Amino acid sequence: MRTLDCEILVVGSGPGGATTAALLAEAGHDVLVVEEGPDLRIDSAPNYSLDEMEQKYRNGGLNTTLGRTGITYIEGRCVGGASEINAGLYHRPHAETLDRWRREFHIEDFDLDRLRPHFEDIEAELSVGPRADGLAPSSQKIIEGADKLGWRHEQIPRFWRYGPEDGPRGRRRSMSETMVPRARAAGARLEADTRVVRILHDGRRATEAHALTRGTIRGRIRFRHLVVAGGAVQTPLLLRRSGIKRNVGDSLRLHPMIRIAARFDARVNDPAFGVPVQQVSQFKPRITLGCSHSSLPHIAMWLGREVPDRRRIMEQWEQVAVFYVAVQGEGHGTVRALPVLGEPLVRYELTDADMAAMGEGLSHLGRLLFEAGARELYSPVEGQPPLRSVADLDRLLQLPHGTAVAVSTIHLFSSLPMGEDRRRCAVDSYGRLHGFDNVSVHDASILPTSPGVNPQGTIMAITRRNTAALLARGL
């Protein structure tokens, strides 16, 4: 068995782990980052291609929750985590959301004003700004439809750089382009293709981690402080497998999404633009409407299995684009470890209010797309014919609850909420695991509930704040 020693072990190199590693290494600490996925370049495969799904998605993106409505969810699994495969859309959270978290979960020193320097730092580091290369045609459709209906809409800034070396479409400022090189430059070591499978602990201290490299080489890692940053599903999985269970994996939240493909008379799909950036803000944070990436595999996925004339629609792909409804969501889920296999069992129940919000969002989105000239919408409800009018849309929305609708998510959080309320929180106001002196959690798990906006900025700002607190206390 291989043995590694470090002062601070960081498990996972997504936005939470990579930010933590960079800041701790720059403060002079000896940091080892262990990442289960491979170490690849940002451009090792085209964004949203099948190759990218194979290389960088956990299980190729095929993960589903159990519950009355199964929800397909995607996790990144590579150096940089999901920042390597995401759309780069950046939001600060709403001040009211932070305020509610502070009150309900008893979080100390926590509001938008105190987080502002952390957001500003991250925005500078990730080059957050508007698109410099024009709007995709499907974004224009969002604008056209929303303007006709008198709804507010906005261009969402992205973490993207348009430097001379970044090409005409710019380059995503993922973790492998920003925080990971910063951590390495400051002396952090990174072990890719290595999964931490168990944490040993003794009373209030974690003592060592057991890991597997490429599924076969066993290793043990000794450390003084442990930061777990595996994301909202993998972090509770690892802790539960290690016998750490109090408030761990009991309160998973997610943003449920419904996608709908729409066909227009003229071209709306230009893959060169990547993920379009326009969103309807009229109904935020409860409901967000926007456009997805519309690569061929994505169109095929969101058309549904039973759509008639599938071949004709695919042949007209340039006239087809995919749009989404995302809702803030108030359902709950759990993460458990399957015995023997050690894989996660994720259960999630959408509430009636979630279903109602998705129906309302679908109705808004459908109306907007017809106003913008859509000829056909391909129903997200299996077995339903294409929708050609607002009347068809209204009929679809009358279907009883429980009709099979394709719900998915790319935003998961809240499986170890932060705060001083020990009845429901797994970590304290600064991300330290309750009941332990040398374990912190720095990832999406600790957001108390759904933020209602694209979450990476919030995860990174809270991580930066909590890492500063860790340094101030001398770990």
Does 247 participate in binding ligand FAD (rule CB under 6 A)? no
The one among 4, 6, 8, 13 contacting ligand FAD by CB under 6 A: 13
234 binds ligand FAD (CB under 6 A): yes
**Contact 447/455 with Cβ under 8 angstroms?**
yes
Count the site residues for ligand FAD by CB under 6 A. Answer: 40
* Contacts of 3 by beta carbon, 8 Å cutoff, 6+ apart: 219, 220, 221, 222
Contact 425, 434 (CB under 8 A): yes
Please state the φ and ψ torsions of residue 468, each to the nearest 5 degrees.
Answer: -60, -40
State the nearest-atom distance from the C-beta of 276 to ligand FAD, in Å. Answer: 11
Cβ 83 to ligand FAD shortest distance, Å: 5
Interface region with ligand FAD, contact rule CB under 6 A, candidates 83-91, 258-266, 279-287, 465-473: 83-91
Considering the complex, what minimum distance in angstroms separates the CB of residue 437 from ligand FAD?
22
Q: From CA 64, how far away is CA 74, in angstroms rounded?
A: 9
Segment near ligand FAD (CB under 6 A); pick from 12-20, 106-114, 138-146, 392-400: 12-20
21 is a contact residue toward ligand FAD (CB under 6 A) = no
* Residue 259 binds ligand FAD (CB under 6 A): no
Q: Taking CB under 6 A as the rule, does residue 174 contact ligand FAD? A: no
Angstrom CA distances, 95 to 99, 128, 452, 463, stand at 6, 19, 12, 18
CB nearer to ligand FAD: give 319 or 415. Answer: 415
Q: Does 15 contact ligand FAD by CB under 6 A?
A: yes
Specify the DSSP element, H or E, that contains 397. helix 390-397
Closest CB to ligand FAD among residues 238, 406: 238
d(CA 9, CA 56): 23
Beta bridge partners of 213: 194, 217
Q: Which of 118, 411, 434, 442 is catalytic?
A: 411
153 is catalytic: no
What is d(CA 152, CA 150) in angstroms, rounded to the nearest whole number?
A: 7
Strand pairing category for 217-222 and 2-5:
parallel
Instruction: Identify whether the C-beta of residue 280 lies closer than 8 Å to the C-beta of residue 146.
Output: yes
Q: Which residue is nearest to ligand FAD (CB)?
A: 14
3-class DSSP state for residue 285? Answer: coil
Q: Which stretch binds ligand FAD (CB under 6 A): 127-135, 231-239, 356-364, 381-389?
A: 231-239
158-161 sheet: strands from edge to edge = 128-129, 158-161, 171-172
Which neighbouring-strand residues pair with 57?
76
Query: Could you tell me if 34 and 211 are in contact, meaning their C-beta atoms sit under 8 angstroms apart?
Result: yes
- Helices and strands, counts by H and E, the chain: 12, 25
Q: Which is nearer to ligand FAD, 12 or 359 (CB)?
A: 12
Check binding of 47 to ligand FAD (CB under 6 A).
no
Stretch 182-221: interaction string toward ligand FAD, x if CB under 6 A? -------------xx-------------------------
Minimum separation from the CB atom of position 118 to ligand FAD (A): 15
* CB-count burial class (<10 Å; 0-12, 13-18, 19+) for 296: middle
Quick one: which segment of 79-87, 99-107, 118-126, 326-334 binds ligand FAD (CB under 6 A)?
A: 79-87
Distance from chain centroid for Cα 240: 22
Choosing from 4, 34, 287, 299, the residue that interacts with ligand FAD (CB under 6 A) is: 34
x/- map, 339-378, ligand FAD, by CB under 6 A: ----------------------------------------
Give the bridge partners for 11, in sequence order: 34, 228
Catalytic machinery residues: 411
Residues at the interface with ligand FAD (CB under 6 A): 11-17, 34-37, 74-78, 81-83, 85-89, 195-196, 229-231, 234, 238, 410-411, 443-444, 454-457, 459
